[in-house]
Structure 1
Amino acid sequence: MIQRAAYKALEEHLSSRHITVITGLRRVGKTTALRFLLDKIAHQNKLYLDFEKAENRLLFNQTLYGDIELGLQALGLNLQAEAVLALDEIQLVPNAPSIIKYLYDTYSVKFLLTGSSSYYLKNHFTESLAGHKRIFELFPLDFREFLLFKGYQSSQFEPFRQKPYFPIYYQTFKKEYEEYVRFGGFPEVVLAATQPDKTAFLKDIVNAYIELDIKLLSDFKVSDDLYRLCQLLAAHTGSLLDTVKLSSILGINRNKINEYLSLFEYTYFIQRIPAFTRNKDRELSLKKKVYLADTGLLSVLAQVSSGQVFENAIALQLARLGSVQYYQRKTGQEIDFVLDQTIAVEVKETPTPYDLRVLTQRATKLDLTTTWLVGLTAPGSEFRDWYWGGSLLPG
């Protein structure tokens, strides 16, 4: 099994009495992470239940806790001894938090849970399990994990992490990074052998997200409207969010649009980036930019330019490195991203010395002393004062 970056912290939490909760978008690898943890349990008094199976939901939907206890014992879990209970897709059983709390308080059970949405977990677990859980967020693969999934060794790419353009590194991994930008980082998409398979998986993920997760987690019933909004957000990735315009185009009430957007963000489908300003009061009034949570999803939802796809990819990569903002003046001058309020980042498909000069001038006016000009394709000159997107690996 390929170890993901989150596994180390997850494994360390196994020794904690607190509940381990893994959340994230559908099919980012939560079940695989759960099985990884179960394999690390030395004793055999452990049980895995997948709530996508009706019989397991039926067990936890019983009225009497005693019947649930008997059911767990019938499945081989000894509640009188130290035990581990792994529950997959807990959002499918609305009363799961109260049952988990009862078993947690009554027996020496270590719980390992997965759920497809922070929206559900944060709202339903806040009271009943407050102080008894730790939530771990799992995202699509970053480019470092992508390369590991492709069979490369970390020693081949770690020396170039967050370093300026290096020709040999670029030439070695250029095709891999282009695939990563185009199809994103869902594990099964990365491992799919053909492009049609990758596209089919991505379409299935979008449909399952809207038809299963969103309908389950909310009272939104109009899936056509939700899908149209997803497409519109994809088409405008990297643009300022204008809810009035979205409302006009879709014919949906502005307040409902805001509810949809909040739910999309809570369920990891979109990422909203705030404006960079030294005036905190003004920051609240400025519009945010929107990016999709995976460039593969972007590719199946809308026909956008390669520059938009690349910018979306960099937005996601930077989010793994720290806090991300954008800068834009009324005059139109802008800096694509500001990382941790210290690094000015400009994204160009093919970077040039002129791009670097403009970025440096704008960054200097904002007292940003560090600049990253990030590119996708190497220019035909000897210019090397830029960062290839494939080098923006997390630490």
Structure 2
Amino acid sequence: MRLVVLGLSLGSSWGNGHATTFRALLKAFAARGHDILFLEREVPWYAGDHRDLIDPEYCELAYYRDLADLGRWRGRVAQADAVIVGSYVPDGVAVGRWVQAEACGVTAFYDIDTPVTLAKLARGDFEYLSPAIIPGYDLYLSFTGGPTLDRLEREFKAPAARALYCSVDTAAYRPLDVPTRWDLSYLGTYSDDRQPTLTRLLIDVARAEPQRRFAVAGPQYPAGIDWPDNVERIEHLPPAGHAAFYSASRFTLNVTRADMIAAGWSPSVRLFEAAACGTPIISDRWDGLDAILADDAEIILADTGDDVRTALTRDAAAIGAAARRRVLAAHGADTRAAELEAYLADRITACAA
């Protein structure tokens, strides 16, 4: 299969979760014998030192300056068996219209931010997707499963909405034999709606447990945050350092954005990555999480700081090991690539009929 993907970023993991998602998925998809071209908009905040993947071995990575420059790839788009446009692509509505006009094969939208996308559409914010172009995609691949899939087809007239959760490269994310540095860690870019939960479940716990060690890794946190002395801040942690980070943590925290909690069925890539490393996860709760990892057997759910403090007293190695087994069986990139292949093949057949 010849596949073209226009995504937010493959070359830079700085400040976004899209790059690691695309890297794991496309590496596994290429391993199934497919040819891939990834087209990325060249922007200054993902360039220079922020670009941590230059020449991937599993696909061709190319950059375009603007919509006019995208025309250089018209032939490849027309010849592709499938073309996927991702969420948060700059000028995504115009890019989507262009793809739908130029592609001769199946067209798909891969929404790695589905609840955020739907909230934007409800506000009339068509930053990268509009209701008008959704029916023009043959396939809507959604980061969110559950009832949202029916809503996409019923309300927005998506011809076929299918769950394509994030996944993990299980060769890159695995338990490492490194010294334990932190009792509880968190890896994620700053977000206004996640910060109150991070404060309640980690920062306040750190203040109450000065003898324990904590870490928060990720960019864009405001300068005014009052970090306790026992919380180590790591401004940016490239994917190559993730497995060591999780492996050095007795527990790690999963915090979910408000739109994702409201929609449910929206596991983040960090959830799978931490589980693949065998690190016990403490998480906020949302509908559908129990279908991904079982409460108190594969993950620990916490509503309050006291819940976290209790969890930190546990020997939860068995929970981390069980989560790793579950993710290896159901949420590895090879599994997700097989799902993507099946979805695309199904739509290719349907559209040819």
Structure with the bigger percentage of helix:
1
TM-score tier after normalising by the smaller chain length: 0.3 to 0.5
Tell which structure's C-alpha radius of gyration is larger: 1
State TM-score, norm by structure 2: 0.38
State TM-score, norm by structure 1: 0.35
